Amino acid sequence: MEHVLTQRRPVAQTGITISPLGLGTVKFGRNQGVKYPQGFELPSDNEVRDLLALGFDLGINLLDTAPAYGLSEERIGKLLPNSRHEWVIETKVGERFIDGESSFDFSAIGTRTSVENSLRLLKTDYLDMVLIHSDGDDVRILREEAVLDTLLQMREEGWVRAVGISSKTVDGALLAYELGCDVVMAAYSPLYTDELPVLESAAAQGRGLLVKKAFASGHLDKLGGKNPVEYALDFIFSQPGATSVVLGTINPKHLRENVAVASEVLADKLAALPSR
């Protein structure tokens, strides 16, 4: 069933195509101030390298990272298997996490400095997707700060291929599309459907939509059903606007299981489509 994961999905009109599952990498570099039900140790370099290789072998080409994810960018830059062009790397600007505290900077110089630092850490000369890491005040950030205009300029300059926001509000996400963003990262799961209008807008406009918190930040027990992973993924992929679901794990067994379930869900949905 894993071949279904290799069927790439377009991100708006950017020329970028991504796997329907993405690998979230917050756990590669940060275990402070995270909202998972259990604590964890950061994986070793060998464990990170092996997990990236496994994800690639299973059909995943999308990596989700951010400066706020501690050492994540640096470790990806050092340990990424295969050639760079075989991966789609999505990172963020606006939030940093240092000494257990988050700080935010949405200025023009802060945005350029952040992108330049990500390029250096990831050891690449371009970034596929850069999202604004919102502090929750999406609309103000998009309308009053320089971050979006700066990213759009950097897209024109060729440093960034696609621009968007990891939003916290429906109004902010919809405004992002209105202002020219290619992609939005929005929360959506059987337990949280408030941001459904964002997925519907993405489908209507042909924009990219990355789903975060699909498994309620690790609280699978709250999803119900015999197989909560299958239930959640089937629920999410029933929305045509969902380009890719970003799942964060450092457990190879969980990654294999999630890919297998996603493959079955997607294969069933393909089979259900009317023949042309």
Report pLDDT digits (tens) over 88-124. 999 999 999 888 888 999 999 999 999 999 999 999 9
Residue 2 has pLDDT above 70, yes or no: no
What per-residue confidence (pLDDT) applies to 217? 67
Nearest to 26 by CA among 179, 219, 229, 249: 249
276: confidence class by pLDDT, cuts 50, 70, 90: very low
Report the C-alpha gap between 152 and 164 in whole angstroms.
Answer: 9
Residue 226 has pLDDT above 80, yes or no: no
Q: Which residues contact 264 (CB under 8 A, 6 or more apart)?
A: 1, 230
For residue 168, report the phi and psi dihedrals to the nearest 5 degrees. Answer: -120, -10
* pTM summary value: 0.93
Nearest to 212 by CA among 151, 164, 150: 164
Average pLDDT for 208-229: 81
Domains of the chain (ranges plus CATH)?
2-270 (3.20.20.100)
At 118-161, the pLDDT tens digits run 999 999 999 999 999 999 999 999 999 999 999 999 999 999 99
What per-residue confidence (pLDDT) applies to 101? 85
33: confidence class by pLDDT, cuts 50, 70, 90: confident
Kindly state the tokens that stand for 44. 């070793």
Residue 272 has pLDDT above 60, yes or no: yes
